[in-house]
Structure 1
């Protein structure tokens, strides 16, 4: 069943984190922050919603980097219950931005992440300005000419420090929480 995150809580401050990346480095929020803002996304390997837009996530991340937006992805799913989301399997995804493992799920809880993908767009001051969808794709890739909601919102954040008032929530698979959590 698809999960939908809540609407954007404008001004909410980005929680810090220290997480291992698939590149062998340990990353913090400050390490991934860009001079014009930061995009933190919760994704995973097995989710059909993420798979459907993986190429678009990569495209938008590259385009946003040219605007001064730092980008990182975090996988928080229970890898014991979902082995495709293990840290070892994450290493094969080939993302051009830090792909981080939240084994404890503490970061997902701090962000109140709801689904994969779940996008959190912050301005340069670390204030939430976007919590919406990538585009109108769902569990299947939409047409190539779809409006790039995430890119357009984060471009606005880079230019003005503020996100759009009207945002359409992302939709995806729920975060796979550990049974003992």
Structure 2
């Protein structure tokens, strides 16, 4: 079932984290933060919404890194129920796609909860002071990638954040699969 996150809570501070990456390193928010902003993406391996736009996520991440934006992707799905989202499978995807950003595993789902992440993909764009400035979509794609000439909402918003420290006032929420939460014990 498709879900959408709430609108941007401008200025909300990015919660810290320390998570293992598919490259064998452990990353904190401070390790990821860029001099002109930070993009934290909640994605996963199996979501059709993510799969449809992975190439666009990679393209935009590379270009944003060139603008001084730090970029990270986090998978928080319950790998017991969804084995295709296991840490081992994440390593395979990261290698196969040559991801240009760290891909981190939130096994206990504490980071997704701290961010109030709702779906995959869910994008959190922060300015240099780690205040939230963007919580919108990548572009108008859904379960299938839209035409190549779609407006690049995420890229344009984060470019504006890099240049001004502020995100656009008008934002269209992302849409995707719900995060697969572990059953409460």
TM range, smaller chain = over 0.9
Aligned to 1:2: 2
CA deviation profile, 1:25-61 (whole Å, cap 9, x unmatched): 0000000000000000000000000000000000000
Pairs within 5 Å for 1:53-72: 53-72=53-72
2:36 counterpart of 1:36: yes
Correspondence 1:128 to 2:139: no
Matching of residue 25 in structure 1 with residue 29 in structure 2? no
Which residue does the alignment assign to 1:46? 46
Aligned mate of 2:166, from 142, 158, 162: 162
- How far apart are 1:16 and its partner, in Å? 0.1
Match of residue 77 from structure 1: 77
Gaps of 5+ in 1: none
Please, which runs of 5 or more residues in structure 2 have no aligned partner? none
Shift of 1:8: 0.1
The number of equivalent residue pairs is 181
Distance in 2, matches of 1:52 and 1:92, equals 18
Equivalence for 2:119: 115
Offset of 1:166 from its aligned partner? 0.1
1: CA distance between counterparts of 2:37 and 2:11? 13
Q: TM-score, normalised by structure 2?
A: 0.97
Offset of residue 180 of structure 1: 1.9
Q: Distance in 2 between matches of 1:106 and 1:122?
A: 19
Aligned to 1:139: 143
